[in-house]
């Protein structure tokens, strides 16, 4: 994944657009996709913090 993290932004964009277009399950899946960079970033930060301590 190294160096490719900004491409997760495309997942956010796809998620936000999916939410706009869909309802119900599509809405929930869109929200989950839109939040992927936040979740992945949080996990990477946590992992890096633990490995340095």
Partner 1 sequence: MQPSTSRWFRLNLQIHRWASLVATLPFLVLCLTGAVLVFREEIDAALGVVPVRAAEGEARVGDCLATLGREFPDQRVLSVGLDPLNHPGVMLGVVAAPEETGFERARLAYFELASGRMLGDDEDPDRSFTGVLLELHAEWFLGLPGRLLGALVGLLVLASLLSGLVLYAPYVRRIAYGVIRRGRGARLAQLDLHNFIGAVVLGWAVVVSLSGFLLGFSTIALGVWQMTDLAAIRQEYSDATPVDARHPPVSVPRVIEVATAHARSGWGVRSILYPGMDLTTPRHYAVLLGGTEGLEARMIDAVMIDADTGEVARDVELPGYLHAMFLAEPLHFGDYGGLPLKLLWTACNLLTLFITANGAWLFFDRRRAQRLRPGRAAEGAGDEGA
Chain contacts with partner 1 (rule: CB under 8 A): 1-3, 5-6, 8-13, 16-17, 19-23, 26-27, 30-31, 34-35, 37-38, 41, 43-49, 52
Minimum distance of partner 1 from residue 12's CB (angstroms)? 3
Please state at what angle helix 25-34 crosses helix 36-52, rounded to 10 degrees: 40
Minimum distance of partner 1 from residue 6's CB (angstroms)? 5
The neighbour count for residue 19, using CB atoms within 10 Å, is 18
Minimum distance of partner 1 from residue 33's CB (angstroms)? 10
Distances in whole angstroms, Cα of residue 31 to Cα of each of 1, 8, 41: 22, 14, 16
């Amino acid at each position: 994944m190294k160096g490719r993290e900004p491409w997760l932004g495309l997942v956010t964009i796809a998620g936000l657009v999916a939410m706009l277009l869909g309802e119900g399950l599509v809405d929930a899946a869109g929200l989950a996709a839109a939040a992927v960079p936040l979740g992945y970033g949080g996990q990477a930060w946590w992992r890096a913090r633990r490995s340095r301590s």
